[in-house]
Amino acid sequence: MKRAIVAGASGIIGSHIIQELEQLEDWEVIGISRRKPFKSEIAEYISMDLTNFDETKEKVKELGNITHVFYAAYQDFPPFSKEQIDINTTMFENIVKAVEETSSALEHVTLMQGVKVYGVHLGEFKTPAKENDSRHMPPNFYYNQEDFIRAHQKEKEWNWTILRPDVVAGIAVGNPMNILSVIGVYAAVSKELGLPLRFPGKKKTYEALAQMTDASHLARSSVWAALTPDAHQEVFNITNGDIFRWKHLWPKIAEYFEMDYEEPLELPLTEMMPAQEEVWNTIVKNNHLLEVPYEKAAGWGFGDFVFKCEYDVISDVNKIKDYGFTETINTEKRLQELFSEMKREKILP
């Protein structure tokens, strides 16, 4: 029996890893989270301060022999700040060391990164991005985490794998860093106000090539990486495997929501959408939706980041395919499936 601990269990990545593991017969799952994630039925949940090593070690010790660590935790701070680097590095180091020191059965650690490794947040970068591309000028806490796991694991019996998804699409109630929630709430508010669905980002973003990573797809690749010896001590890009342009996808989204479509109109979501709280509350009440605080219903800052990236963002995913994970996802079709599920679950009207 494998016994996994998932850090960041209520986030979009961690919650889907838990859902994937819950479907497998030979896994016991423990989530580190301040609250129980949406649609989790089996896993055990505990809360701990990952910035405090003594507390982390004491609580992990009570969990018995952990065999696998899936790390998807993150604390948000201003970009490039000392707090962002130090806190996120410390949390990862603490959970790895705590499990290592309290479990004689540790087999594997999976670390989640992202395309910020390649500098997507800084400006136009080389595409398609490959796992062995040069780093940008630090700081970048992904670099600190990766340097730690590479150095710390040397000559140890356990293994590690690093996965690099792009924008993750999935269902995670109350987790605002979710492009599905951003689009869904924005569309619902626009429709309630009698507005057409306009792409709210920049024109160049509308026309650039983009990609996504389905959260369930990412979860399956995480389990694959943990159980596949050839994937150990390796780094993999992981996306749906296709690319798209928002200018082709956005009219399809408008059609799905039965809305009129019009050409893009740049809209700063962080400035405009907070004023729509009462509109959203009316939508929730009239449609008997799940009651989630408006500030957690959608992450407008995250939406602005995605919709204002004015250049191609493409990851080369040949490596993970060559190593044996060959699954691909049709992004357009999958988005419609996820929006339909959000409607069934009373997250969207």
**Measured on CA atoms in the order 265, 270, 276, 281, is the torsion positive or negative?**
positive
CA distance 158 to 221: 19
Torsion over CA of 207, 11, 50 and 94, rounded to 10 degrees?
-60
> Which position among 118, 142, 186, 206 bears the catalytic label?
142
Instruction: Provide the angle, in degrees to the nearest 10, between the axes of the packed helices 179-192 and 300-307.
Output: 100
Contact 174, 15 (CB under 8 A): no
Cα–Cα nearest to 5, from 66, 88, 65, 49:
66
Degrees (nearest 5) of the Cα angle 38, 44, 47? 85
In terms of Cα–Cα distance, which of 169, 167, 170, 171 is closest to 38?
Answer: 171
Write down the catalytic residue from 97, 116, 247, 346: 116
Question: Beta strands 68-71 and 27-32: pairing type?
Answer: unpaired
Q: Is 142 an active-site residue?
A: yes
45 is catalytic: no
Active centre residues (catalytic): 116, 142
